[in-house]
Amino acid sequence: MTAYDSTPFLLRLSVRAADARVELAASTLLDKIRHKLSISDLPLPLPIDQWIETPLGFDFAIVGDDQLDPEVLGLARPTLNQILIHESLLEHEGRFRFTCAHELGHCILHKSVAEELSDAELPRSGKISAIEHEADRFASSLLMPLSTLAQQLAKVMRDHQLNNSCVELLRGDDVRTVWLWRRCILPALCDTYGVSRAAMAYRFRELRLPGQRRILKPSMISLMVAPEKTLADLPLDRIIVRDGIPVLEE
């Protein structure tokens, strides 16, 4: 199975074969939700915390230290269809949403793996187990549906008067690449999908253009997730859009 976006924009995005099973599980769940709610378009950001209970029917609770160990922010009991989220995450919309979707991923994908799975801060960086990687991929696919991403990306490009020839710049590694992602795409899409900048950057790192070409180089990820102040040395404020592409003003 390969999940393709078929919107008329220039960018056709897909996932790698290795990620197709989890991508399909997330898109099947979204289809089920749309069917149960009788809606054709997905509202963005997805109200996943509401949907976990209705229409999905999971036992969902936001709890304090009395019910979760101090370092645990999310917990899934797949065989009981139960999800607990720590109340401290309510102050961080992106992390709250991602943790809810990640625990939902455990409940859907990992019924036969463990009776209980718990998580600290998500999304994690560095090496993680295959089970945790799958739950992260599921959360990412669910919250940033492939069927909507190319269209939303196209809208951002239009809003900044950027044209198709920017695709190669998106894939590049110069200062204009940083400008495109950090100044245009990531702020707008994080707002649209209600996810953190790291979650959005990781999503694009996994996506592919036709020919299995990457849309975002893994070597650029550290610049994508770096705090704003670490970009101060880059001449991002001298970049302007001319004839549909960003150029560095002399």
- 101 versus 150: smaller Cβ distance to Zn ion: 101
Task: List the one residue out of 140, 156, 184, 143 whose CA is nearest residue 43.
Answer: 143
Provide DSSP, 100-125.
HHHHHHHHHH-TTT-S-EEESSSS--
Q: How many residues bind Zn ion (CB under 5 A)?
A: 3
- 123 versus 246: smaller Cβ distance to Zn ion: 123
Residue 99 has which token pair? 């943790």
Please tell me whether residue 178 binds Zn ion under the rule CB under 5 A: no
- 5 versus 132: smaller Cβ distance to Zn ion: 132
- 73 versus 189: smaller Cβ distance to Zn ion: 73
Sign of the four-CA dihedral 137, 139, 144, 145: positive
- Within 93-122, the residues that bind Zn ion by CB under 5 A are 119
Single-letter amino acid code for the residue at 225: V
Task: List the one residue out of 150, 153, 117 whose CA is nearest residue 134.
Answer: 117
> CA angle at residue 222 from 178 to 200, to 5 degrees?
75
Helix or strand run (H / E) with residue 223:
helix 221-225
Instruction: Compute the least distance from the CB of residue 168 to Zn ion, in Å.
Output: 36
Instruction: Compute the least distance from the CB of residue 58 to Zn ion, in Å.
Output: 15
Instruction: Compute the least distance from the CB of residue 130 to Zn ion, in Å.
Output: 11
Instruction: Compute the least distance from the CB of residue 113 to Zn ion, in Å.
Output: 11
- 122 versus 223: smaller Cβ distance to Zn ion: 122
**Of 50-58, 90-98, 133-141, 205-213, which segment contacts Zn ion by CB under 5 A?**
133-141
Position closest to Zn ion via CB: 119
Please tell me whether residue 135 binds Zn ion under the rule CB under 5 A: yes
Q: How far is CA 72 from CA 125, 191, 197, in A?
A: 16, 26, 22
Instruction: Compute the least distance from the CB of residue 81 to Zn ion, in Å.
Output: 16
Residues that bind Zn ion (CB under 5 A): 119, 132, 135
